[in-house]
Amino acid sequence: MTETARDRLIVGLDLPTIADAEKIVSTLGNDVSFYKIGYQLVFAGGLEFARDLAKSGKNVFLDMKLLDIDNTVAKGVENIAKMGMSMLTLHAYPKAMKAAVEAAKGSDLCLLGVTVLTSMDEQDVIDAGYEYDPHTLVLRRAEQARAAGMGGIVCSAEESAAVRKIIGPDMALVTPGIRPAGADKGDQKRVMTPSEALKAGSSHLVVARPIVAAAEPLAAARAILAEMNGALAR
């Protein structure tokens, strides 16, 4: 598991254009080494940008949340592994995870199981037809991800401590919905500060809007890194 804040901070490039993303990456320079690319940027040419970022020495977390029939998931994972990505998400359904793990064998791609989206609360989960509350569903999927041989889990920092007990010390535990003290929660419902999340057992923190939408993104990133380093030093 990584030890420095720079290794653990993943900046979410949730931006409308490649030009916007390039500007943020240039602004953050060597202070940030890990970036997340999701749907918004992928559908604006982000896959080629992801390849270029990886070739430049950055770590790239491709947040595609794959879910399909086993063969389709496997073929997608095989090609994503060839792109030089560091992390890839898929929904934590047992069959999909098993197919992805088999397809990623021999590569350095860390597969992450998405448990319950941090924008969802108990009523949202009920409305989606699940019989479990968010916490119970997260823990169930964490157990299934570990059994499938996944590289890690994505969950809210609120569940990090409980999930860490299930998955052990070696799997990655990636938490979005990170908000520095006083920051706007936006559409996130289950959030924590960076230091709280690390103390709870998270290995990597995904931070998007508090950095990329800040008036001074580099200063915002440095403040979060400082808070994370302080937590790691304790």
CATH of the domain at 221: 3.20.20.70
For residue 185, pLDDT beyond 60: no
The answer to whether residues 183 and 175 touch, using CB atoms and an 8 Å cutoff, is no
Q: Is the model more confident about 179 or about 114? A: 114
- Work out the average pLDDT over 82-89: 97
Share the mean pLDDT of the chain. 91
Q: How many domains does the chain have?
A: 1
For residue 188, pLDDT beyond 80: no
Q: Token pair for residue 228?
A: 């994370």
Residue 40 in marked binding region: no
- Work out the average pLDDT over 25-52: 97
Considering the chain, what percentage of its residues have pLDDT values greater than 90?
75
Largest CA distance in the chain: 45
Residue 136 in marked binding region: no
pLDDT the model gives residue 169:
93
Q: Token pair for residue 185?
A: 């929660």
Residue 72 in marked binding region: yes
For residue 55, pLDDT beyond 90: yes
pLDDT the model gives residue 26:
98
- Work out the average pLDDT over 124-142: 85
For residue 53, pLDDT beyond 90: yes
For residue 25, pLDDT beyond 60: yes
Which of the residues are catalytic? Answer: 63, 65, 68
For 19, phi and psi rounded to 5 degrees?
-60, -40
19 band by pLDDT with thresholds 50, 70 and 90: very high
Residue 185 in marked binding region: no
1 band by pLDDT with thresholds 50, 70 and 90: very low
Q: Is the model more confident about 15 or about 3? A: 15
pLDDT the model gives residue 126:
78
The answer to whether residues 155 and 138 touch, using CB atoms and an 8 Å cutoff, is yes
Residue 10 in marked binding region: no
pLDDT the model gives residue 158:
84
Q: What is the pTM of this model?
A: 0.90
Backbone conformation region of residue 207, classed left if phi is above 0, alpha if psi is from -120 to 50, else beta: beta
pLDDT the model gives residue 130:
81
For residue 76, the enclosing domain spans 5-232
Backbone conformation region of residue 56, classed left if phi is above 0, alpha if psi is from -120 to 50, else beta: alpha
